[in-house]
Amino acid sequence: MGYQKKTGKGRLDKYYHLAKEQGYRARSAFKLIQLNKKYNFLSSARTLIDLCAAPGGWLQVAQKYMPVKSLIIGVDLVPIKPIPNVITFAEDILTDKCRNRLRQEMKTWKADVVLHDGAPNVGSNWSHDAYSQTELVLMSLKLATEFLNKGGTFVTKVFRSKDYNSLIWVFNQLFRRVEATKPPSSRNVSAEIFVVCQDYIAPKKIDPRFLDAKYVFEDLLLNKAQTSTDIFAPETKKNRRQREGYEDGDYTLYKKIDVMEFVKSRDPAGTLGGANEMAFTSEEAIEIAKLPETTEDILLSCKDLRLLGKKDFRRLMKWRAGLRERYNLEKAEEQPKIDENAGGEDGSDIEGELDALATEEVKKLKKERKRQNAKRQRQLIKMQLNMVTPTDIGMEQDGGDPLFRTDKIVDSNGNKVLKEINNADMATVEPDVDFADEELVELGSRPIEPKRARDAAADNDDAVDSDEERRLIEIESQMDEMYSEYMDHKRERDAQFDIKRKRAAEEEFRGFSDDEKAQRNRPGSDDSDTDSETESAAETDQEMSDDDDDGDDDEIRSMMRKAKKTKKQGPLSAAQDVKLAGRAALWFDQPVFKGVGSVNLDDITDDEEEVDGNENGKSADGARVDQSAGKRKRSALDADDEGDVEMASDDDDESDFDADSGDEDEGDPNNVELNDEERQADYDLATPEAMTMVRDLANRKTTKEELIDKHFNRYTFNDIKDLPEWFVDDEQQHNKPTLPVSKEAVRMLREKLKALDARPIKKVAEAKARKKMRASKRIEKVQKKAESVIANEDMTEAEKARNIDRMIKRATKAKPKEKVTVVVARHGNRAVQGRPKGVKGKYKMVDPRMKKDLRAQKARDKRSKKGGRR
Ligand SMILES: C[S@@+](CC[C@H](N)C(=O)[O-])C[C@H]1O[C@@H](n2cnc3c(N)ncnc32)[C@H](O)[C@@H]1O
């Protein structure tokens, strides 16, 4: 048994070997075997189409598990090696050609099973791959809808991506049973799962939008929400002619229901959302139409349910509640349930039970709300770690959907209470607070109560009972759910865009534009503006400017301050600043900031930023004050160009500064190639003076201009023409001011040197490497020996193990130095040939004379040393 070879993802796993053993062309064959074991769709199938079938593992399984003489067709982009009794051809399943060819092969038959295991080439862009895979899935579903028999099965591979839920929704519209599963042979590291759709409904007509990738993946959730219960969403009014949403098997565009269906429905909001008109056709409904409570308004609302506003909706719900009471429907429905639970107890118990149910429902809603808040909180934390962008958490919601605008929320005096609401603990907000387009007023013990509720309380006729309230709560929660779905969808869309934008920014990032800086500095400018958030990468490129040193310094400082504020402020302001924080992270990711000490944001005050004591420490966002200070130092020392920004390279020494570009003191900067020593001499913080300067700059004790000024004196512009060289040299040594040196700078420099000293010297490093090499050679030897032991068939497994264990112990055991016994060649040991008697182990014969001579020599040396000192 040698070493188990493992390439990417541990490819050579159990199923790989099993597939080889059993003659399957691909290990994926086991996925189908396992799926079939669970759902058993192959044994009863007579016709099967495998889309994306190469190399043919699934076809082999189909051929093995389906009855003989079944029709099996496999198609793939690449040709499939022939399999007995299987028709294969090479086509792209996304083309019409493939469809026609399938039609040709299928003749008048219909398929019992359609399989799809397609996967596009998986590259580095995960979100794109997942998308094209889902497109493949949708196309295979399209083919399945064309070729599948009623009751047929469609099995497809799906990658867990943002489109997953949309796909599942579509499957559910076309199949009675849809289950997602991951067979054991599918690697855990893979995002793939398999969806088994059984019992194909085979509707006569399918809305083409179901199978249109653009529609399904872009707008599905939104539209779905609009058509189910979102009947008071303003968008519905605008788009009321675009009716969507179908029930199983019902694919008509216009849906008319009987009023009683609504009255009896346990999901009235859903019923209303799913229909266009309510008619009074049944006998009971005709009776209802004659009742006084069935007002003109109600009749009008029933005519076009898509036109319902929120008030209409509530009116209908109240009307329904009255009817249910009149027909005792509530009791009829609740009684058996309660009897079941209460075991046939008396009326008061039933009341109690109802109350308990109601409180439980409210509790559930609160719990859900808390969960949503926790989710939002998590998003926020992620965002602060730059894992997502503000658009991802939908912080812009206040300005967005009018349905959720909080700026309309006012107290009884007409003051806006947005602030209080923002500060409030959302988990404790009453679930029936109306955040929609109605005014909210303070009322009694309830801090915020809809005006509508107050009116309702005043008007006895309109009063809603507790059941109805519960239903309204339900509707409110549905609204919340729909909104969160919408936000999720939006977030997902943004995420894809954001990845691209981030990538583009990472690939080529040079700085920020003046425009943007100006905008940020402008009072009242809104950093959380989503429009600016969605600037294209091209714009970012355009914005890049590297010609203003001061500006860059200010930028860094302002970003640090912003980041610090982000820490202190609440979540909303944090979201507004996070875009900037993200940018700051990008900015500090530049190579110029490598190797410079981190900044403790808490230690920075607006007036003075303290430099982190640890010069080499790295902060999470890579902000490095020392480095920016070093940059300033360079700028200051160069002193010949205002807008010179220096880029530092990642050198051996972390604080070394390198000039990739920029003007040099003399000549063409591009031609100046500095070697390490020169660079160190010129740019390293190798002197206490340089270190002091840099620290002063970083701590804003001085400015670049002041530094530059200090280096000019009355001798600077002396005309040195015609002066003797020795004089000029001498002058240059003495006409410069002595630069100040701070204690802290000296200490830092000393520490830096200490760190340098602590590095192992070359010889020690070489000796260590030799030792390592010897050890690895020993291990190699043992390995070889172990292999031969393993191959030895005469030994038992236990013997082999013991042997190898011994060998490893021997190889890794450090050998103690053997003791050498010194034997003086005197008395019996004189002129002895070979080992002297009674001596074991290593020995060394020494001449007694030699020993005496050696001792005498040592004594002489000692004496002469003493004499010398005197
Ligand atoms: C994972 S393999 C399928 C393995 C197969 N189920 C088996 O057991 O041997 C995915 C296949 O999808 C195919 N494919 C990808 N895009 C395709 C397309 N547009 N049309 C046809 N085949 C496609 C690839 O050529 C590849 O052979």
Sort 633 into a burial class: Cβ within 10 Å, 0-12 / 13-18 / 19+: buried
The residues assigned a catalytic role are 157
CA of 118 to the centre of ligand 1 (A): 4
Of 413-427, 503-517, 652-666, where does mean pLDDT reach its minimum?
Answer: 652-666
CA 5/CA 3 separation, integer angstroms: 6
- Nearest-CA neighbor of 391 among 533, 269, 517? 533
CB of 732 closer than 8 Å to CB of 715 = no
* pLDDT given at position 361: 73
pLDDT of residue 714 exceeding 80 = no
Number of domains in the chain: 6
Q: Between the ranges 79-83, 568-572, 832-836, where is the mean pLDDT highest? A: 79-83
Binning pLDDT at 50, 70 and 90, where does residue 481 land?
Answer: low
- Nearest-CA neighbor of 561 among 496, 651, 623, 635? 623
What is the span of the domain harbouring residue 693? Answer: 512-743
CA of 76 to the centre of ligand 1 (A): 6
Binning pLDDT at 50, 70 and 90, where does residue 809 land?
Answer: confident
546 and 684 belong to one structural domain: yes
Structure tokens at 762: 């070359």
CA of 52 to the centre of ligand 1 (A): 3
Residue 834 lies in a domain: no
Provide the 3-class DSSP secondary structure of residue 447.
strand
pLDDT of residue 65 exceeding 90 = yes
Q: Is 736 left (phi over 0), alpha (psi -120 to 50) or beta?
A: beta
Dihedrals φ, ψ of 117, to 5°? -125, 30
Q: Between the ranges 119-133, 303-317, 460-474, 855-869, where is the mean pLDDT highest? A: 855-869
Q: Dihedral (C-alpha) 726, 732, 738, 739: value to the nearest 10 degrees?
A: -140
CA of 72 to the centre of ligand 1 (A): 16
602 and 630 belong to one structural domain: yes
pLDDT of residue 81 exceeding 50 = yes
Model confidence over 529-558: pLDDT tens digits? Answer: 333 333 333 333 333 333 333 444 444 444
* pLDDT given at position 492: 52
CB of 839 closer than 8 Å to CB of 821 = yes
CA of 365 to the centre of ligand 1 (A): 45
Of 42-51, 71-80, 263-272, 635-644, where does mean pLDDT reach its minimum?
Answer: 635-644
CA 416/CA 432 separation, integer angstroms: 19
From 76, 114, 133, the mutation candidate for ligand 1 (largest count of ligand atoms within 8 A of CB) is: 76
Dihedrals φ, ψ of 752, to 5°? -65, -45
Half-sphere exposure of 653 (CA within 13 A, CB side): 20
* pLDDT given at position 715: 75
95 and 176 belong to one structural domain: yes
Q: Identify the helix (H) or strand (E) that includes residue 822.
A: strand 820-824
Binning pLDDT at 50, 70 and 90, where does residue 44 land?
Answer: very high
* pLDDT given at position 450: 39
- Indicate the average pLDDT of the chain: 67
- Give mean pLDDT, residues 605-613: 36
Of 197-201, 467-471, 630-634, 804-808, where does mean pLDDT reach its minimum?
Answer: 630-634
Q: Between the ranges 176-190, 346-360, 418-432, where is the mean pLDDT highest? A: 176-190
The percent of residues above 70 in pLDDT, for the chain, comes to 54
493 and 559 belong to one structural domain: no
pLDDT of residue 453 exceeding 90 = no
CA 398/CA 396 separation, integer angstroms: 6
Structure tokens at 865: 């040393």
**Atom 5, ligand 1: residue with shortest CA distance:** 53
Structure tokens at 389: 């962008």
Residue 738 lies in a domain: yes
Which residues line ligand 1 at a C-beta cut-off of 6 Å?
25-26, 28-29, 52-58, 76-78, 92-94, 117-120, 136
Binning pLDDT at 50, 70 and 90, where does residue 37 land?
Answer: very high
CA 563/CA 602 separation, integer angstroms: 10
739 and 764 belong to one structural domain: no
Sort 340 into a burial class: Cβ within 10 Å, 0-12 / 13-18 / 19+: exposed
Residue 189 lies in a domain: yes
CA 85/CA 68 separation, integer angstroms: 9
Return the ligand 1 atom nearest residue 92 CA.
Answer: 20
The percent of residues above 90 in pLDDT, for the chain, comes to 16
- Give mean pLDDT, residues 348-377: 71
Return the ligand 1 atom nearest residue 58 CA.
Answer: 8
Dihedrals φ, ψ of 832, to 5°? -85, 135
ipTM above 0.85, yes or no: yes
CB of 61 closer than 8 Å to CB of 38 = no
Higher per-residue pLDDT: 178 or 229: 178
pLDDT of residue 779 exceeding 70 = yes
Binning pLDDT at 50, 70 and 90, where does residue 478 land?
Answer: low
Provide the 3-class DSSP secondary structure of residue 531.
helix
Return the ligand 1 atom nearest residue 50 CA.
Answer: 6
Cite the beta strand spans of 340-412 per DSSP E: none
* pLDDT given at position 488: 57
- Nearest-CA neighbor of 389 among 246, 262, 532, 486? 532
Residue 493 lies in a domain: yes
Q: Is 823 left (phi over 0), alpha (psi -120 to 50) or beta?
A: beta
Domain boundary among 498, 520, 535: 498
- Give mean pLDDT, residues 720-729: 85
CA-based radius of gyration for the chain: 41
Higher per-residue pLDDT: 393 or 863: 863
pLDDT of residue 602 exceeding 70 = no
Angle between helices 164-174 and 126-147 (to 10 degrees): 10
- Give mean pLDDT, residues 17-33: 91
Q: Are strands 842-846 and 820-824 parallel, antiparallel or unpaired?
A: parallel
Dihedrals φ, ψ of 227, to 5°? -90, -15
Residue 385 lies in a domain: yes
Binning pLDDT at 50, 70 and 90, where does residue 104 land?
Answer: very high
**Atom 13, ligand 1: residue with shortest CA distance:** 52
132 and 183 belong to one structural domain: yes
**What does DSSP assign to residue 230?**
-
Residue 641 lies in a domain: yes
**What does DSSP assign to residue 643?**
T
178 and 214 belong to one structural domain: yes
**Atom 18, ligand 1: residue with shortest CA distance:** 92
**Atom 7, ligand 1: residue with shortest CA distance:** 57
CA 338/CA 353 separation, integer angstroms: 7
CATH number at residue 122: 3.40.50.150
533 and 494 belong to one structural domain: no
**What does DSSP assign to residue 242?**
S
Show contacts of 261-264: CB within 8 Å, 24+ apart: 262/316, 262/320, 263/288, 263/320, 263/323, 263/324, 263/327, 263/329, 264/329
Q: Other C-beta atoms within 10 Å of 639: how many?
A: 17
Exposure b/e, 657-677, CB count within 10 A at least 16 = b: bbbeebbbeeeebeeeeeeee
Residue 58 among known ligand-binding residues = yes
Residue 228 lies in a domain: no
- Nearest-CA neighbor of 140 among 81, 204, 75? 75
Higher per-residue pLDDT: 546 or 370: 370
Provide the 3-class DSSP secondary structure of residue 339.
helix
Higher per-residue pLDDT: 571 or 144: 144
* pLDDT given at position 640: 36
CA 395/CA 570 separation, integer angstroms: 12
Dmax over Cα atoms in the chain, in whole Å?
A: 141
Residue 92 among known ligand-binding residues = yes
Residue 553 among known ligand-binding residues = no
Strand arrangement of the beta sheet that strand 86-90 belongs to? 86-90, 71-76, 47-51, 111-116, 148-159, 192-200, 175-181
Domain boundary among 310, 327, 344: 327
From 15, 77, 92, 129, the mutation candidate for ligand 1 (largest count of ligand atoms within 8 A of CB) is: 77
628 and 613 belong to one structural domain: yes
* pLDDT given at position 869: 53
**What does DSSP assign to residue 206?**
-
Model confidence over 612-651: pLDDT tens digits? Answer: 333 333 333 333 333 443 443 333 333 333 333 333 333 3
**What does DSSP assign to residue 641?**
-
Sign of the C-alpha dihedral, residues 364, 366, 367, 369? positive
462 and 413 belong to one structural domain: yes
pLDDT of residue 728 exceeding 60 = yes
Higher per-residue pLDDT: 81 or 753: 81
Model confidence over 275-311: pLDDT tens digits? Answer: 778 889 888 888 888 888 898 888 888 888 777 777 7
Q: Dihedral (C-alpha) 376, 378, 379, 384: value to the nearest 10 degrees?
A: 130
Higher per-residue pLDDT: 548 or 725: 725
pLDDT of residue 38 exceeding 90 = yes
Binning pLDDT at 50, 70 and 90, where does residue 351 land?
Answer: low
Structure tokens at 854: 């050696």
Residue 796 lies in a domain: no
Provide the 3-class DSSP secondary structure of residue 91.
coil
Q: Other C-beta atoms within 10 Å of 406: how many?
A: 16
Sign of the C-alpha dihedral, residues 727, 732, 738, 741? negative
CA of 450 to the centre of ligand 1 (A): 58
From 9, 31, 52, the mutation candidate for ligand 1 (largest count of ligand atoms within 8 A of CB) is: 52
pLDDT of residue 2 exceeding 90 = no
Residues with Cβ within 8 Å of residue 79, at least 6 apart in sequence:
54, 88, 90
548 and 665 belong to one structural domain: yes
**Atom 10, ligand 1: residue with shortest CA distance:** 118
Model confidence over 141-172: pLDDT tens digits? Answer: 999 999 999 999 999 998 877 778 888 888 99
CA 377/CA 383 separation, integer angstroms: 10
Binning pLDDT at 50, 70 and 90, where does residue 91 land?
Answer: very high
Sign of the C-alpha dihedral, residues 59, 60, 65, 71? positive
113 and 197 belong to one structural domain: yes
